[in-house]
């Protein structure tokens, strides 16, 4: 094999964590780890949902050799030069994993590289792209027949990411859906004020675990954190044995997360009749999560910082989540969820993808655009969560409006009291998931285009 550069184009936090990660792993598995032969670079483009930590996450992947952050993207797109003046090998492939599908067209021409595009819902620039890996056959069926040979159905990369936990067991407990378990690394999972209980061969008591996924950006966290903690407190008052966990987004640090539960830093805390929560850190080394949010009513919500958290999420009886990539990951894992979109202040939700997100975050006019966009969202019927979009039906509940903790809490309690309802949601989620093995198939497409003479 001659020397080859693989350039991956991506953008937001969801794409970097759920698309780039499994694809670079699959590329190394298929093409080998000899960096003198195959070099993998990641270049990020601007995204309205970006947190600024996407480059650091990409650099943490051992399969990746070089990363350029989004702030330098336009210079590269226009002039073909990276900020660090990277060298490029004579042969290479541009792999599109997020952003605008026109980017690989331009960059592929500048570098004289072949191009491979992963397309979830729509494929563009058919005549200018060499190969497309698509999520479902419907995407390929919509293109002109003369380009059909460029298309391969690879499946859903979200399923690939969600399934990366494998069959090797979980780190949280045993039993998965339905709440069996309650151990993490051989210790009982309990309040941060309680010392860890040494590993015992005795069976773990049956518990139920609820995951809280408030998002990773301020626009969602400002309402999501106090609302979800208030819901958790209400459920805890009715069922104190239930435990709660927040799988912390890799782009979010714990003090920032905790600040959204502080009424002095977040005015929405009082909006949901929530008092406050503070960050608690354990001292000493334990295999439990070493941090939690401790509410004024004494509820401990553990903070799980290992990523990806698929094993943990698979242990949850149900999750409360905001809209976005979280819903795709949970859907791919088959975890029942309730999707929350609180609208106590329409201006607060500025985390939409694409053009709506860009308009909502514009200087001066952004606030007006945000209110208009969210008002339009309120007028349409559901299908905001990815599993519902996939199925074109309401598989998981979407609660949109001025949500109240008690009402949502009662809904959760009803689901827990009727496990057959959760089982029905889980079965429907599994039925709409895309085909597995997408990352390996996409890596094979890259190998095929690398093999041209």
pLDDT digits (tens, 9 = 90+) for 144-162: 888 889 999 988 887 665 5
Q: What is the dihedral of CA 180, 182, 188, 190, to 10 degrees?
A: -130
Lowest mean pLDDT among 104-118, 154-168, 346-360: 346-360
Q: Please state the rounded mean pLDDT for residues 255-265.
A: 94
383, pLDDT greater than 70: yes
Task: Please report the pLDDT score of residue 228 as a whole number.
Answer: 96
358, pLDDT greater than 60: no
DSSP classification of residue 375: H
1, pLDDT greater than 80: no
193, pLDDT greater than 90: no
CA atoms within 13 A on the CB side of 177: 17
Lowest mean pLDDT among 241-245, 337-341, 427-431: 427-431
Threshold 0.75, pTM exceeds: no
190, pLDDT greater than 50: no
Task: Please report the pLDDT score of residue 230 as a whole number.
Answer: 96
Percent of the chain with pLDDT over 90: 49
**Cα separation of 375 and 174, whole Å?**
44
**Cα separation of 291 and 41, whole Å?**
34
Q: Please state the rounded mean pLDDT for residues 86-108.
A: 94
Q: Please state the rounded mean pLDDT for residues 123-145.
A: 88
**Cα separation of 294 and 280, whole Å?**
6
**CA-based R_g, the chain, Å:** 23
**Cα separation of 377 and 149, whole Å?**
38
Three-state SS for 57?
helix
**Cα separation of 97 and 452, whole Å?**
22
Task: Please report the pLDDT score of residue 324 as a whole number.
Answer: 81
The phi and psi torsions of 336 (rounded to 5 degrees) equal -60, 145
**Cα separation of 254 and 303, whole Å?**
8
Q: How confident is the model at residue 206 (pLDDT cuts 50, 70, 90)?
A: low
Q: Please state the rounded mean pLDDT for residues 108-131.
A: 91
- Whether the upstream peptide bond of residue 194 has omega within 30° of 0, thus cis, is no
For residue 451, CA distances in Å to 33, 64, 223 come to 18, 21, 51
Query: CB under 8 Å to 388, separation ≥6 — which residues?
Result: 382, 394, 395, 396, 398
124, pLDDT greater than 70: yes
Higher-scoring residue by pLDDT: 144, 420: 420
Lowest mean pLDDT among 117-131, 164-178, 298-312, 379-393: 164-178
Lowest mean pLDDT among 160-164, 202-206, 240-244, 431-435: 202-206
Q: Which two tokens stand for residue 97?
A: 């994993």
**Cα separation of 346 and 378, whole Å?**
10
Task: Please report the pLDDT score of residue 123 as a whole number.
Answer: 87
**Cα separation of 136 and 138, whole Å?**
5
Task: Please report the pLDDT score of residue 402 as a whole number.
Answer: 86
List of domains in the chain: 4-156+435-450 (3.40.50.2000), 167-432 (3.40.50.2000)
Question: Can you give the length of the chain in residues?
Answer: 453
Cβ atoms of 196 and 287 closer than 8 Å = yes
Q: Please state the rounded mean pLDDT for residues 271-285.
A: 82
**Cα separation of 312 and 163, whole Å?**
12
Q: Which two tokens stand for residue 353?
A: 């993808």
User: Average model confidence (pLDDT) for the chain?
Assistant: 81
Query: CB under 8 Å to 103, separation ≥6 — which residues?
Result: 9, 45, 77, 96
Q: How confident is the model at residue 377 (pLDDT cuts 50, 70, 90)?
A: low
Across the beta sheet with 337-342, what order do the strands follow? 277-281, 291-295, 300-304, 243-247, 209-213, 318-321, 337-342, 398-401
Task: Please report the pLDDT score of residue 392 as a whole number.
Answer: 84
Chain center to CA of 365: 29
Which segment, 180-184, 215-219, 379-383, 434-438, is predicted with the most confidence on average?
Answer: 215-219
The burial class, CB within 10 Å (0-12 / 13-18 / 19+), for 135 is buried
For residue 93, CA distances in Å to 3, 114, 131, 167, 314 come to 12, 5, 11, 33, 35
407, pLDDT greater than 50: yes
271, pLDDT greater than 50: yes
Cβ atoms of 68 and 44 closer than 8 Å = yes
Q: How confident is the model at residue 8 (pLDDT cuts 50, 70, 90)?
A: very high
Three-state SS for 210?
strand
């Amino acid at each position: 094999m001659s020397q080859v550069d693989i350039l991956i184009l991506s953008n937001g936090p969801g794409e970097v964590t759920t698309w780039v990660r499994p694809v670079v792993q699959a590329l190394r598995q298929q093409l080998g780890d000899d960096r003198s032969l195959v070099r993998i670079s990641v270049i990020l483009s601007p995204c309205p949902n970006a947190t600024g930590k996407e480059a650091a996450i990409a650099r943490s992947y051992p399969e990746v050799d070089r990363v350029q952050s989004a702030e330098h993207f336009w210079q590269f797109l226009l002039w073909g030069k990276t900020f660090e003046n990277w060298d490029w090998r004579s042969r290479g492939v541009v792999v599109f994993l997020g952003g605008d599908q026109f980017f690989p067209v331009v960059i592929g021409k500048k570098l004289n590289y072949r191009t491979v595009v992963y397309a979830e819902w729509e494929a563009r620039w058919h005549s200018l792209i060499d190969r497309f890996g698509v999520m479902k056959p419907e995407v390929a069926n919509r293109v002109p027949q003369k380009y059909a040979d460029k298309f391969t159905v690879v499946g859903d990369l979200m399923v690939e990411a969600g399934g990366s936990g494998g069959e090797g067991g979980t780190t949280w407990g045993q039993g998965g859906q339905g709440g069996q378990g309650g151990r993490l690394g051989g210790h009982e999972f309990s309040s941060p004020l309680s010392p860890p209980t040494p590993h015992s061969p005795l069976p773990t008591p049956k518990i139920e675990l609820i995951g809280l996924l408030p998002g990773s950006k301020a626009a969602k966290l400002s309402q999501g954190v106090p609302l979800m903690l208030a819901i958790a407190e209400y459920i805890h008052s009715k069922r104190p044995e239930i435990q709660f966990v927040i799988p912390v987004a890799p782009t979010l640090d714990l003090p920032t997360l905790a600040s959204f539960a502080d009424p002095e830093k977040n005015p929405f805390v009082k909006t949901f009749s929530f008092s406050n929560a503070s960050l608690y850190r354990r001292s000493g080394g334990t295999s439990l999560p070493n941090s939690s949010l401790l509410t004024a009513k004494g509820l401990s919500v553990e903070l799980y910082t290992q990523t990806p958290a698929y094993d943990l999420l698979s242990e949850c009886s149900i999750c409360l989540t905001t809209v976005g990539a979280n819903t795709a990951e949970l859907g791919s894992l088959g975890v029942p969820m309730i999707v929350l979109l609180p609208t106590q202040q329409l201006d607060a939700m500025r985390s939409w993808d694409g053009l709506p997100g860009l308009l909502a975050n514009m200087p001066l006019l952004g606030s007006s655009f945000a209110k208009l966009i969210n008002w339009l969202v309120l007028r349409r019927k559901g299908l905001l969560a990815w599993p519902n979009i996939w199925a074109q039906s309401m598989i998981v509940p979407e609660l949109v409006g001025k949500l109240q903790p008690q009402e949502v809490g009662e809904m959760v309690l009803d689901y827990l009291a009727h496990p057959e309802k959760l089982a029905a949601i889980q079965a429907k989620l599994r039925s709409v998931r895309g085909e597995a093995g997408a990352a390996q198939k996409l890596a094979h497409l890259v190998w095929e285009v690398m093999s041209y003479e």
